Structure 1
Amino acid sequence: MAPEGVTEQRGDRPFLPMVVSYLASGGSLVLGSAAQLLTFAILARWLGVHEFSVFVAITAVANIAVHLCGLGAMECLVRRVARDRAIYPQMLGHNVILTAASGAALVLLGAVVLPFFFTLSPDPVTNVAVITLMLVTNILLVRVIVLTEQIYIAHTDFASANKVVVGFAAARTVAAALACIAFGVTSVAYWAVWQFLCHVLVALLCMRAIRGLGTPRYRIVREEIPQGLYFSIPFILRALRQNADLLVLSLVTTAEVVASYSVARRMLESSYLSVEALNRLIYPGSARATAAGLHQALQRVRRVLAAATVISLAAAVTVFVLAPVLPYLFGKDYLSLVGFVRILCWVVVPLAMWSVAVEALGASGAHAARATVMGLGSIAGAGLAVWASWYAPPMGTFLSFYAIEIAMVVASWSVLLHFVRRDRRQAALTFGAGVI
C-alpha cells in the first residue's frame, strides 16, 4: 500500500474549479486592497497632513506588533486542521489563549511607550487613552477578524474566507466615509473611536459566524509554540526590513523621492496580491500533501511555481503599462513616480518565486528552516538596503531590492530541495526496513 500523501499528485482538484477558486480568492484580495486605498484616501483628505501622518505612524507600529500577537498560532491552526478537522477545538482554544495573552501584553507595552513619541491630545490621560484604543483596534481586534478568515481557510471554505476579507475592507471604508464625510471628523482622536466601533462590530459578526464550526477547547498545544514563533518572527523582521530603506531615503533625499518611492512600494505590494491569492488557496492542500514528506508534494510545488511565475509576470507587465496613469491619481507633484514604478514592478517575479518555496516549507511544518531563510534574508536585506540607500540613493535602493530578492530565490529553493532529498532518503530507509 502506498504511504499517505503519495496520491496527492493525482488527487488535486480539477483545473476549472481551482481556477474559479483562485479568481474568487484573488478578487477578494484585490477588492479588499482597493477598499483600503479608498479608506486611506478619505482619511488623508479629511484628517489633513499632520493628523494623517500620526495615524499612519501608529498604524505602522501596530502592523509590526500584530505579527507577534498570537505568536504565530494561526498558521498551525490552518496546517493541522487542514489535515485533521477533529483537532479544530483544541487549535481554536490554543489561538484564543495566545492571542489574548500576547495581545494584552503588546497593547500594554505600546500604551506605556508610544505616548512619549506621539501626541493625539494635549491632555496626557486622553492621549494615552486614544493610543490604547488604537492599539486594541489594530492589534487585538484585527487579529480576531483575520483569525476568522484563517479558520475558514483551514476548513477549505474559501467563499466564506473571501467574504470576511471583502466585508472587513468594506466596513472600514463605510466607517471612514460616515465619520469624515457625514460627521466631519478631522482628528485622529475622534477617528480612533469610529475605527474601534467598526472593528468591534466586524469582530462580533465574525465570532457569531464561526460558532457552528465548534467551540474552543482551552489548552496550550505546547509543541506548536516554537513552530508559531518560527512562523511569526520572519514577518516581523520583514516588516522592519520594509521600512529601513524608507527611513534612510528620508534622511538623504528629497521629500518627492521618498513619496514617489513609497507609492511605488505600495504598487509592488498590490501587484503581489495576485500571487498571495494563489498561495492562500494552495496552502491547505499542500499541508495535506506534505504529511508524508515534502518529496511527495514536489511535483505539486513545481506546478505552483510555474503558475506563480506566470501570474507575477502578468502583474508586472500590467503595472508597467499602467504606470503613466498614476500621476493623474496621485498628483503631478510625484515627478519620479512613473520611473520608480517601472523599475520596481519586476521585483514581484523573484518575490513570487521564493514565496512558493517558503510556503511549501511552512505547509510541511519545517518552520525552523523557513524562519531561518526569511529571517536571515530580512536582516541581510535591511543591512544592504540601508548601505545602498545611503551610498547611492535612490538607484542603490533599487539595486539592493533586486539583489536580495534574487538571493532569496536561491536560498529558499536550495533549502526546500535539501528537505525533499532528506525526506526521500528517510522514506527509502523506512520502506527498506519494512521489506526486511
Structure 2
Amino acid sequence: MASGNARGSGGRGALLPMLMSYAASGGSLIVSSAAQLLTFAILARFLGVHEFSLFVAITAISNIAVHMCGLGAMECLVRRVARDRAIYPAMLGHNIILTAASGLVLVLVGAALLPFFFTLAPDPATNVAVITLMLVTNIVLVRVIVLAEQIFLAHSDFPAANTVVVGFAVARTLAAGLACLAFGVSSLATWAVWQFACHVLVAIVCWRALRALGRPEYRLVREELPLGLYFSVPFILRAVRQNADLLVLSLTATPEIVASYSVARRMLESSYLSVEALNRLVYPGSARATIEGLQHAMPRVRKVLVAATLISIAAAIAVFVLAPILPFLFGKDYVSLVSFVRILCWVVIPLAIWSVAMEALGASGHQPTRAAVMGLGSVFGAALAAIATWYAPPAGTFVSFYVIEIAMVVAAWSALLRIVRRDRERAQEQELEAGMAHGR
C-alpha cells in the first residue's frame, strides 16, 4: 500500500511510514470533523431554529453546486501530477480556468433563483447580496481551498494537505465562536459576512503556501475535459441522492425526527472520514501503480480493501458506543438522536467496501465506468430513498439506506473485476502475439 510502490508489493520497511502517514491523515480528518460538528452546534444554538434551517438549506444546495465547480478538474490534477510532476503548471492553469468559469456561472444562477425561495433579509437588494455572498463562500472559496489540499496530495506532501484540512476546519470553528460567543451574532445575514471573511483568509494562506510549487500555465488540457466531467457527474448525482431522503422526510415527519435524522447523517459522514483518510493517502500511489494496467494494482487494491473494512468496523463501533454523548452537545430536544445514530452507524461498512473499488477505477483512469456505476446508483438510490421515505418514514428511510449501499458494493466490485479480467486477457493476447512475432 505504500504510495511509492508501483506494483503494490511493498516491504516491511515501508509499513511504518505508511502507518504514520495514515495516522496523520486520519487524525487530520477526525480533528476536522470534530471542529465542523462544534461549528454546527454553535450556529444551531445561536442562530435559532428558523435562521439555522435557512443556513442548512442554502448550504445543502451549495454542497451540490460545489461538485459542479471545476468540472472534475481536481481529480485530473491529482492523477496526472502523481504520475508526472512536470505537467503540474498546465494542470494548475486548467483547474483555475474551469473553477473560475464554472464558479461564476453557478453563483450567477444561484443569485438569480434562490431569492425567490429564501428570505435572509427584509430588503430585496440586501437579500440578494447575502445569498450571493453565501454562494461565493460555499462554492467558489470552498473549491479553491479544497484544490489547495489536492495539490499537496498530488505532490505526496501529506503533512501540508493535512494542515489545510485541519486549519480550514479550525478556522471556521474559531470564526463561529468569535462571531456568536464574543460578538453575539444571531442572524444569518451577519454570519454570512463572518463566514466569507474566514474563507477568504484561509484561501489566501493556502495559495501563498503553494507558490513554491510553481506558477500556473493558463491553458485547457483538452483530453482531461471529458474525464473530469465523468468524475464530477457521479458526485453531483450522489449529492442529490444524499438529500432526497431528507427532503421527503421533511414533508412526512415531525421537525424533531427531521432534525435528529440530519444530525445522524452528519455523524455517518464523520465516521466515513477514517476510510476517506486511507483513500486519499493511497490514491496517488494507485495512480502510479495502474500505469501499465489495472490488473497490476490488484494486490494493492486487496490490501486497501482489508484495511478499509477493518477501519470502517472500528468506526461504526466507536460511533455506536459514543452516541449517548450527542444530546449533551445538541440539546435534549433531539429525543430520537441516539437511536437514529445507532441505526445508521453500520452503513459505513458497505460504504467503505464499495468506495475502494471506485477509488481504484478513478486512479486507473476508468472514469466512464466509475461515472456509470456511481451515477446510476445515485439515480436509482435517490428514487428508492424518496419512495421508501414517503411510504414508511423513518423506518423506510433506514431500510433504503442499507439496500442502496449493499447494492453499490455488488455493482462497484463487479465493474472493477470485469475491467481487470478484460485487461488481463488483453495483456495475454499481446504477449502471445509478441511471442509469435519473435518466433518468426
AA at the equivalent of 2:181: I
> Using a 3 Å threshold, how does the CA distance of structure 1 residues 273 and 379 change in structure 2: closer, same or farther?
same
Identical columns (%): 74
Give SS of 2:318's match.
helix
1:230 aligns to what? 230
1-structure distance, mates of 2:230, 2:69: 13
- Which deviates further from its counterpart, 155-164 or 119-128? 119-128
State yes or no: 1:337 paired with 2:355.
no
Which runs of 5 or more structure 2 residues have no equivalent in the other structure?
none
2-structure distance, mates of 1:328, 1:123: 37
2-structure distance, mates of 1:10, 1:78: 22
1:409 aligns to what? 409
> Using a 3 Å threshold, how does the CA distance of structure 1 residues 280 and 12 change in structure 2: closer, same or farther?
farther
1:92 aligns to what? 92
State yes or no: 1:252 paired with 2:246.
no
State yes or no: 1:63 paired with 2:63.
yes
Following superposition, the deviation at residue 430 of structure 1 comes to 2.2
State yes or no: 1:205 paired with 2:244.
no
1:323 aligns to what? 323
- Which deviates further from its counterpart, 174-183 or 197-206? 174-183
Matches within 5 A, 1:23-102: 23-102=23-102
C-alpha contact 2:6 2:285 (8 A) present in aligned 1: no
Following superposition, the deviation at residue 57 of structure 1 comes to 1.2
Q: Per-residue CA shift, 1:243-287, capped at 9, x if unaligned?
A: 111122222222222222222211111111100100010100000
- Which deviates further from its counterpart, 123-132 or 9-18? 9-18
2:139 aligns to what? 139
Q: TM-score, normalised by structure 1?
A: 0.96
C-alpha contact 1:9 1:297 (8 A) present in aligned 2: no
> Using a 3 Å threshold, how does the CA distance of structure 1 residues 287 and 223 change in structure 2: closer, same or farther?
same
AA at the equivalent of 2:109: L
Q: Per-residue CA shift, 1:188-215, capped at 9, x if unaligned?
A: 1121111111111111111110001011
Q: Per-residue CA shift, 1:56-100, capped at 9, x if unaligned?
A: 211111111000000000000000100000000010000000000
State yes or no: 1:313 paired with 2:313.
yes
Following superposition, the deviation at residue 326 of structure 1 comes to 2.5
1-structure distance, mates of 2:249, 2:391: 10
Runs of 4+ off more than 3 Å: 5-8, 10-13
Following superposition, the deviation at residue 6 of structure 1 comes to 6.6
Matches within 5 A, 1:238-277: 238-277=238-277
Following superposition, the deviation at residue 429 of structure 1 comes to 2.1
> Using a 3 Å threshold, how does the CA distance of structure 1 residues 68 and 392 change in structure 2: closer, same or farther?
same
Q: TM-score, normalised by structure 2?
A: 0.95
Following superposition, the deviation at residue 12 of structure 1 comes to 9.1
C-alpha contact 2:7 2:297 (8 A) present in aligned 1: no
> Using a 3 Å threshold, how does the CA distance of structure 1 residues 392 and 13 change in structure 2: closer, same or farther?
farther
2:185 aligns to what? 185
1:373 aligns to what? 373
2-structure distance, mates of 1:275, 1:12: 22
State yes or no: 1:104 paired with 2:104.
yes
> Using a 3 Å threshold, how does the CA distance of structure 1 residues 172 and 358 change in structure 2: closer, same or farther?
same
AA at the equivalent of 1:231: F
> Using a 3 Å threshold, how does the CA distance of structure 1 residues 264 and 364 change in structure 2: closer, same or farther?
same
Give SS of 1:71's match.
coil
Q: Give the number of aligned pairs.
A: 432
AA at the equivalent of 1:382: A
- Which deviates further from its counterpart, 426-435 or 387-396? 426-435
Over the aligned positions, Cα root-mean-square deviation in angstroms equals 1.4
1-structure distance, mates of 2:259, 2:187: 23
Give SS of 1:186's match.
coil
C-alpha contact 2:21 2:158 (8 A) present in aligned 1: yes
Q: Per-residue CA shift, 1:5-33, capped at 9, x if unaligned?
A: 87443479711111110110011111111
Following superposition, the deviation at residue 139 of structure 1 comes to 0.9
Following superposition, the deviation at residue 42 of structure 1 comes to 1.8
> Using a 3 Å threshold, how does the CA distance of structure 1 residues 337 and 355 change in structure 2: closer, same or farther?
same
- Which deviates further from its counterpart, 189-198 or 361-370? 189-198
- Which deviates further from its counterpart, 50-59 or 411-420? 50-59
2-structure distance, mates of 1:279, 1:404: 21
C-alpha contact 2:244 2:382 (8 A) present in aligned 1: yes
2-structure distance, mates of 1:42, 1:325: 16
